[in-house]
């Protein structure tokens, strides 16, 4: 009888036969899940475990059946089972929902968007040495300009805030300006950097880079940098060292910082010098996709939204509506997000098995249209055929 994952004293207790909820998602979601699900089941089985996937409803299908895009019981299920996986969800047009994904992150306080980026040999890339990219982005998920605190130009709210700021705080904001607020707190910044440093220490990574625009936004992004260095020194001072004090061939995790615009240049020109990146929400949004572009695009990029004791793994792309039902979308993002989920369960052998099977499938010349169309003469395979190829290699090589 399968059992539930529990969370006690700050750590997950994962049975060998856990229930794991999955949301198959909208658009291409169901066909991607049909390709990815069996791969994850097989990798678990090959390494002596058994996953019981439990369907959880969200998105268009949930709306048709229950009248809610994100039924409350789905949130309860994701929270109580601790670890789950989802396909892409379409943002309903109208209806007052900003985004279902954002709603899930907020409801479960999944404060870190985690995106590992590494290159799968054979995948087309616009850069000369994509194999030098091996980074993981920890993006703060709850604050910053993405908190949704903004008012349109000419609205009574924007005007009243503008008048207050000009009269009381000496600003000179022009009439009719649209206004947004960028909240960033010590607590939220520190918990994000804490997670990134812990990850670097656990994985034996050489550095954590704080990416910010503190030169311009001194009290928000500048504070993120300061709080990042503080949490590293105060809580991990025996195992981390600031870059300025690092010895040659330093054995401790080096904590450094880079201004965001420079960081965009660094990932292109000196990617091998960076490993774990921690950053506020907006920087993280841009940088994660820029890194994904260097290693095959969104179809290849895995991701997760992680909080304290609850995590939802997800394909990083959207529902790709134009490809729905056409058997052409790339299931790799969902498959690799599943591999990341297996790592998170403590099943690194199963995660490695999935990654190596996918790499082998690509090395054997199998790839979906998004990749094949970039390689002269390459022939694309469908979503289902690619999933089957990875599955066969998991079964064969495991």
CA distance 296 to 133: 12
3-class DSSP state of 253: strand
Q: How far is the CB of 323 from ligand NAP (least distance, A)?
A: 6
Residue window 368-387: x/- pattern of binding to ligand NAP, with contact defined by CB under 6 A: --x-----------------
Q: Tell me whether residue 285 is one of the annotated catalytic residues.
A: yes
Rg of the chain on CA atoms, in Å:
22
Q: How far is CA 84 from CA 38, 280, 316, 337, in A?
A: 15, 24, 15, 11
Q: Of the candidates 120, 314, 336, 367, which one interacts with ligand NAP according to CB under 6 A?
A: 314
Residue window 333-362: x/- pattern of binding to ligand NAP, with contact defined by CB under 6 A: x-----------------------------
> Residues 5 to 44: which contact ligand NAP by CB under 6 A?
28
Selected catalytic residue, list 26, 46, 69, 146: 146
Nearer to ligand NAP, 144 or 370 (CB): 370
Indicate whether 101 belongs to the interface with ligand NAP (CB under 6 A): yes
CA distance 36 to 350: 14
Selected catalytic residue, list 26, 144, 257, 285: 285
Nearer to ligand NAP, 294 or 333 (CB): 333
Indicate whether 124 belongs to the interface with ligand NAP (CB under 6 A): no
Q: Tell me whether residue 69 is one of the annotated catalytic residues.
A: no
Q: Tell me whether residue 213 is one of the annotated catalytic residues.
A: yes
Window contacting ligand NAP (CB under 6 A); options: 106-114, 158-166, 253-261, 325-333: 325-333
DSSP 10: T
Those residues with Cβ within 8 angstroms of residue 202's Cβ, 6 or more apart along the chain or in another chain: none
- Helix (H), strand (E) at residue 350: helix 348-363
Window contacting ligand NAP (CB under 6 A); options: 65-73, 137-145, 327-335, 358-366: 327-335
Segments in 108-251 forming alpha helices (H): 156-169, 186-203, 221-236
Nearer to ligand NAP, 18 or 296 (CB): 296
Nearer to ligand NAP, 151 or 323 (CB): 323
Indicate whether 84 belongs to the interface with ligand NAP (CB under 6 A): no
Nearer to ligand NAP, 83 or 223 (CB): 83
Q: How far is the CB of 319 from ligand NAP (least distance, A)?
A: 4
CA distance 150 to 162: 12
CA distance 106 to 110: 7
Q: How far is CA 230 from CA 4, 16, 186, 209, 393, in A?
A: 37, 38, 10, 13, 46
Selected catalytic residue, list 86, 182, 213, 252: 213
Indicate whether 141 belongs to the interface with ligand NAP (CB under 6 A): no
Q: Which residue is nearest to ligand NAP (CB)?
A: 318
Taking 3-state DSSP, the helix, strand and coil percentages for the chain, each rounded to the nearest 5, stand at 45, 15, 35
Q: How far is the CB of 177 from ligand NAP (least distance, A)?
A: 28
Indicate whether 317 belongs to the interface with ligand NAP (CB under 6 A): yes
CB distance 312 to 305 below 8 Å: yes
> Residues 236 to 275: which contact ligand NAP by CB under 6 A?
none
Indicate whether 56 belongs to the interface with ligand NAP (CB under 6 A): no
CA distance 124 to 108: 36
Q: What is the 3-state secondary structure (H, E, C) of 172-199?
A: CCCCCCCEECCCCCHHHHHHHHHHHHHH
Q: Of the candidates 255, 291, 292, 320, which one interacts with ligand NAP according to CB under 6 A?
A: 320
Indicate whether 89 belongs to the interface with ligand NAP (CB under 6 A): yes
CA distance 349 to 371: 27
Known catalytic residues? 146, 213, 261, 285
- Report the interface residues with ligand NAP, using CB under 6 A: 28, 88-91, 101, 298-299, 314, 317-322, 329-330, 333, 370
């Amino acid at each position: 009888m399968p059992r539930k994952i529990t969370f006690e004293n700050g750590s997950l207790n994962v049975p060998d036969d856990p229930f794991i909820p999955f949301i198959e998602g909208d658009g291409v979601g169901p066909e991607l899940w049909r390709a990815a699900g069996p791969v994850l089941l097989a990798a678990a089985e090959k390494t002596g475990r058994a996953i019981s996937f439990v369907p959880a409803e969200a998105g268009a299908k949930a709306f048709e059946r229950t009248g809610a895009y994100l039924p409350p019981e789905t949130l309860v299920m994701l929270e109580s089972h601790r670890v789950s996986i989802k396909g892409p969800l379409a943002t309903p047009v109208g209806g007052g929902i900003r985004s279902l994904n954002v709603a899930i992150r907020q409801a479960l306080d999944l404060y870190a968007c985690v995106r590992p980026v590494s290159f799968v040999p054979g995948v087309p890339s616009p850069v000369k040495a994509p194999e030098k990219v091996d980074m993981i982005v920890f993006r703060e998920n709850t604050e910053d300009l993405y908190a949704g605190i903004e008012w349109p130009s000419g609205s009574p709210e924007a005007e009243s805030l503008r008048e207050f700021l000009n009269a009381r705080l000496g600003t000179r904001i022009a009439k009719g300006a649209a206004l947004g607020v960028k909240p960033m707190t010590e607590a939220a910044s520190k918990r994000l950097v804490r997670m990134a440093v812990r990850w670097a220490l656990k994985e034996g990574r050489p550095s954590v880079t704080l990416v910010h625009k503190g030169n311009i936004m001194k009290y928000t992004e500048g504070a993120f940098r300061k709080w990042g260095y503080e949490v590293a020194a105060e809580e991990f001072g025996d195992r981390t060292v600031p870059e300025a004090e690092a010895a040659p061939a330093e054995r401790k995790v080096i904590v450094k910082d880079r201004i965001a615009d420079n960081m965009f240049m660094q990932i292109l020109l000196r990617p091998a010098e960076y490993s774990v990146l921690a950053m506020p929400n907006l920087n993280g949004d841009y940088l994660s996709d820029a890194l994904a572009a260097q290693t095959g695009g969104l179809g290849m990029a895995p991701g997760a939204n992680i909080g304290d004791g609850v995590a939802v793994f997800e394909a990083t792309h959207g529902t790709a509506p134009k490809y729905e039902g056409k058997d052409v979308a790339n299931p790799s993002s969902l498959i690799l997000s599943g591999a990341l989920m297996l790592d998170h369960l403590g099943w690194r052998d199963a995660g490695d098995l999935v990654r190596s099977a996918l790499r082998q499938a690509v090395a054997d010349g199998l790839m979906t249209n998004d990749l094949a169309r970039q390689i002269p003469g390459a022939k694309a395979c469908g979503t289902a055929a690619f999933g089957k190829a990875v599955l066969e290699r998991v079964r064969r090589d495991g």
